[in-house]
Structure 1
C-alpha cells in the first residue's frame, strides 16, 4: 500500500469531526461523542480514549486492529456514516474520504443539492466549481 492510499485512523476520525456537522454549528466536542458512544455501547468510553484515537495513538496499529470494532462502529454511527469508513483501508477509504471532503465543500458553499451524471465526475474539479460559485455569490455576481 502506498502512502497516498493509506489514511491513518486518526485522520478518518478527525475528518468526521470536521465534516459531519451543520454549516451553522461548530464541530462536536469529543466529550459529547464519547457520551453518545457510551450510551450506544452501554458501557463507559472515556473522552480521553477518543482523544487518543484522534491524536494518532492507534495509527501505528495495523489498520486500527487494536480498537474494538464496536467502538469504531459506534463512532461512525454518531456521525451518520457507515462503519466501513473507519474500518476499511486502501483506495476504498481514500474514496470515502474524498466524498466527505466534497460534502464539506458543498456544506461550506451552502449547496442544497447537486445532480451528477455518470461516475467519472472529477471530485476535485467539482469542489473547485462549487468554491468558485460560492466566491462569485459572495462577490455579488450571482443572486443569493
Structure 2
C-alpha cells in the first residue's frame, strides 16, 4: 500500500486490527491467534473476552459501514496494548491513526527484509513505539545496540 496523502483511503477498524495481527509477530513465526490475543486482553481487563468477538472485529462487523454496531472501547484499547501500539490507532481516525498505520507498514517491510535496526532522520515516526514493535518481532534475537 502506498501513501498518496489525502488520496489514502480512510482506514477501517477491521483493516487496522488485521494489520496488527499480520505485522506484529516475529518474521519466522505465524501471526498470533485470535484465541491467544483474546486471552491476553482478557487478563488485561480482568474479564473474559471471547475470541469470536475479535473475529467479528476482524471481519468488519464494527466498521463504519455497519451503522449501529459499536465496538467495545475497552477491548479496542486492550487489543492495541496487546500488540504494543498506542490505543489511538484503534480509537481514532485521521492523521494519528494514519501515522501509526504507516509505521506498521514500515515495520512489516523492515521485518520482511530482516532489518534489525534503522536510523530514522527527519521523520515524525514515534521511535519508542517503533523500537518496541521491532523488539516484539525479533523473537529470541537479542536486541541490537
Among candidates 54, 59, 62, match of residue 63 of structure 2: 59
Are 2:32 and 1:6 equivalent residues in the alignment?
no
Matches within 5 A, 1:1-144: 4-60=8-64, 66-119=70-123
Task: State the Cα distance separating 1:104 from its structure 2 match.
Answer: 0.7
Deviation at 1:70, TM superposition (A): 1.1
Question: 1:93 Cα deviation (Å)?
Answer: 1.4
List runs of 5+ in structure 1 lacking aligned partners.
Answer: 122-144
State the 1:5 CA deviation.
4.3
Q: Which runs of 4+ in 1 moved over 2 A?
A: 2-5
Aligned length: 119
SS in 2 for 1:89: coil
Q: How far off its partner does 1:95 sit?
A: 1.7
CA-based RMSD of the aligned residues comes to 2.3
Secondary structure at 2:97's aligned position in 1? Answer: helix
TM-score, length-scaled by structure 1: 0.75
The farther-off stretch of 2-11 and 28-37 is 2-11
Unaligned runs of 5+ in 2: 1-5, 126-145
Change (3 A) 1:117 1:40: same
> Whose radius of gyration is greater, 1 or 2?
1
Q: In structure 1, what is the Cα distance between the partners aligned to 2:109 and 2:79? A: 22
Q: Which has the higher helix share?
A: 1
Once the two structures are superposed, what CA deviation does each residue of 1:61-80 show, in whole Å capped at 9, x if it has no partner? 69x98222211111011111
Provide TM-score, normalisation by structure 2. 0.74
Inter-partner Cα distance in structure 2 for 1:17 and 1:43: 22
Asked if the contact 2:88/2:96 (under 8 Å) is kept, the reply is: no
